Amino acid sequence: MSYLNISVEDEKQPAGANGTSGDEAAQTAAFEARIERGEKIEPGDWMPAAYRKQLVRMISQHAHSEIVGMLPEGAWITRAPSLRRKMALLAKVQDEAGHGQYLYHAAETLDASREEMIDALLERRAKYSNIFNYPTLSWTDIGVIGWLVDGAAIVNQTMLAKGSYGPYARAMLRICAEESFHKKQGHEQVILMAQGTPEQKAMVQDSIDRWWWPILMMFGPHDSDSPNTPTLMRWGVKTKSNDELRQMFLNQVLPDLEALELTVPDPEMHFDEESGNWIGGEIDWDEFWRVIQGDGPLNADRLAARREAHEEGQWVREALTAYAQREAQAAHAPSTNGASNGAGGAHA
């Protein structure tokens, strides 16, 4: 069964429950009280089926985004303008692969299997961040992606690092620490290009013009169009709303863009003295939904690249498994898969 369709029945926890709805309500109340007290929920703990399902959906889509996110930037590694930039870009793309792994493993602690998650991506049942369906057309896109795309991701991830599910929050802490390098290497490039020749400045302005709106879409639909947000906030899955995060991002980057004499392609963007916020015009939500539904510039290319990589890795996964089986047989010892001292994996 697809993890996207987990039913309540599948999720019933054996510990201490006889499955009556009264127990379920009491367990949910105790669960919510734990979150209220700031406790982290760990893999073996009781959790509502909807909490597990939402986390698996979020964490796996986050993992897919890290992996697909290697593609637009990876395309520029061979064309980096200096060795320093090339090493930084290689290291950044390698980090994204590692972040995808942290996140797949975090989702696996919720009993989502890797195979199901990958299948859901390749069969278009699972999403990844829309931003990676746009093309990288020039080198300055790399600077803009590092500063603004990773910068937007960090705003979101800093919030997620305070989330209630332990393995996800801990993965986010590691990711945020590593991504500050991603953001700063991009920011540095944009600063230097903005102060360069008129051609360089025009190039970086063109990158911002193309990426600006897709970046603002990264935070997702308006709160008024996110019906699940209140529940997710009560459960500590999210601790800030989409619109709050988008506003934090605008307030973070607009002052620097202004100081660099770069503009955003939004004639309505202005600083509102009263609220202390940068406020712009409305996002083109038709484009947002169109790209999410698969009709962005590069959706088909991105999935084709993922499918090819997955199929070409098949023999490696098979070889690793065959090797482990042979070693286990040679040692006449039970494989670790079945070996257990009866301890069970709760909390582990």
Partner 1 sequence: MSDSQWPRYQVFEQRREGAPHENAGSLHAPDNEIALQMARDIFVRRPTCIDLWVAPAAMIFARSAEQLADPAWREGAPQDSTPGAYRVFAKTRHAGTHQFLGTVEAEGTLSALEQALETFSDTAALVWWIVPDSAFTETDPDDAESLFAPANDKVYRDQADYHTVSLMRNIRHAQAERSSEE
Q: Considering only residues 98, 196, 230, 294, which one is a binding residue for partner 1 as defined by CB under 8 A?
A: 98
- In whole angstroms, how close is the CB of 85 to partner 1 at the nearest point? 9
Longest CA pairwise span in the chain (Å): 74
Provide the mask over 36-75, with x wherever binding to partner 1 is found by CB under 8 A and - wherever it is not: --xxx-x-x-------------------------------
- In whole angstroms, how close is the CB of 45 to partner 1 at the nearest point? 9
Does residue 310 belong to the site contacting partner 1 (CB under 8 A)? Answer: no
CB 264 within 8 A of CB 280: yes
The pair of structure tokens assigned to 106 is 């975090």
E strand or H helix at 62:
helix 49-68
Name all contacts of 169-177 with Cβ < 8 Å and 24+ positions apart.
Answer: 169/40, 170/106, 171/99, 171/102, 171/103, 171/105, 171/106, 174/102, 175/99, 175/102
Provide the mask over 315-344, with x wherever binding to partner 1 is found by CB under 8 A and - wherever it is not: --xx-xx-xx--xx------xxx-xxxxxx
CB 85 within 8 A of CB 146: no
Q: Give the interface segment with partner 1, choosing from 136-144, 173-181, 226-234, 299-307 (CB under 8 A).
A: 173-181
DSSP 8-state assignment for residue 235: T
Amino acid of residue 229: T
Does residue 140 belong to the site contacting partner 1 (CB under 8 A)? Answer: no
- In whole angstroms, how close is the CB of 37 to partner 1 at the nearest point? 8
Does residue 10 belong to the site contacting partner 1 (CB under 8 A)? Answer: no
Amino acid of residue 2: S
Nearer to partner 1, 152 or 298 (CB): 152
The pair of structure tokens assigned to 281 is 């015009």
Does residue 169 belong to the site contacting partner 1 (CB under 8 A)? Answer: yes
CB 159 within 8 A of CB 240: yes
Tell the residue number behind the tokens 């201490």, with chain if given.
Answer: 16
* Burial of 337 from C-beta contacts in 10 A (0-12 / 13-18 / 19+): exposed
Q: Give the interface segment with partner 1, choosing from 48-56, 256-264, 270-278, 286-294 (CB under 8 A).
A: 256-264
Q: Considering only residues 2, 8, 33, 115, which one is a binding residue for partner 1 as defined by CB under 8 A?
A: 115
Does residue 174 belong to the site contacting partner 1 (CB under 8 A)? Answer: yes
The pair of structure tokens assigned to 101 is 């792994």
Residues at the site binding partner 1, with contacts judged by CB under 8 A? 38-40, 42, 44, 84, 87-88, 91, 94-95, 98, 101-102, 105-106, 108-109, 113-116, 166-167, 169-171, 174, 178, 180-181, 183-185, 187-188, 191-192, 195, 256, 259-260, 317-318, 320-321, 323-324, 327-328, 335-337, 339-348
